[in-house]
Amino acid sequence: MVTSRWTAASAQPAAGMRRRGPVLERAILEAALDQLSTVGWNGLTMEGVAAGAQTGKAAVYRRWPSKEDLVVDALAAALPRLDAAPDLGSVREDLLELCRQMRAAMYSRPGFAVRSVLHECDTFTAERFHSVITQGVIEPSVELIKEVLRRGIERGEVRPDATGSYECDVIPAMMMYRSKVCGSEWEEGDLVEMIDRLMIPLLRRHAD
């Protein structure tokens, strides 16, 4: 299951109350995500975020001196999380379901925000977002893949040395590459083909 830390509903103020503190900050972060998912990184402005949050521009700049700082915190707060590795009884089905969950995360609003940053930022600016994307997206995905592969090893489906970085990096690397470089989306058939034609032969025991 894919979850996120907070939603648009959680950022809405109670009627008649002046927002401040964490409530206002959540509204600003939510507005930043809205901007990223609608006008993209290049179109995002601090003025637009302030208007979306229904606050003054000064309130945004007091907390975040630049849009890079703001977007880092917005992504860190809202990136979807993959709760647990699937356990459907076979490494093929587990990896396929995990790919579906990763695809759902990519197509969520925070996921679109991440893709906007990756697609539109220059290399220097993208470095600002490296840690939040690595820690919030890539590393959790790799850990779940490792868990699936360890179960496959225990069942005798996967060769014992198949939990290295190459095997575990293939799925997130392919999904990010297709999205960023090729601009293509992942249909169900694409996921099945990646698992059946790439991952299963890569993980198969040598004696098979």
Which pLDDT score, from 0 to 100, does residue 23 have?
93
Name the β-bridge partners of 3: 81
The residue length of the chain stands at 208
Domain ranges in the chain are 2-77, 83-203
Residue 11 has a pLDDT of 43
Closest residue by Cα to residue 147 from 97, 207, 198, 202: 97
pTM over 0.85: no
2-77 against 83-203: fold identical: no
Domain 83-203 homologous superfamily, CATH: Tetracycline Repressor, domain 2 (1.10.357.10)
Q: How far is CA 103 from CA 31, 36, 124, 133, 188, in A?
A: 23, 19, 27, 15, 10
Q: Provide the pLDDT for residue 176.
A: 82
Name the burial class of residue 67, with classes exposed (0-12), middle (13-18) and buried (19+) by CB atoms within 10 angstroms of its CB.
buried
Q: Could you give the CA distance from residue 80 to residue 137 in angstroms, rounded to a whole number?
A: 8
DSSP lists the bridge partners of residue 82 as 2
Largest CA distance in the chain: 70
- Report the alpha-carbon distance of residue 30 to residue 186 in Å, rounded: 26
Task: Give domain 2-77's CATH superfamily.
Answer: Homeodomain-like (1.10.10.60)
Helix (H) or strand (E) holding 59: helix 57-63
The predicted structure's pLDDT at residue 5:
47
Mean pLDDT by 10 residues, the chain (208 residues): 46 49 94 92 95 95 95 89 88 96 87 84 83 87 96 95 93 84 79 96 75
Task: Please tell me what DSSP assigns to residue 7.
Answer: -
User: For residue 3, what are the contacts with CB-CB under 8 A and spacing of at least 6?
Assistant: 80, 81, 83
DSSP state for residue 160 in the 8-state scheme: T
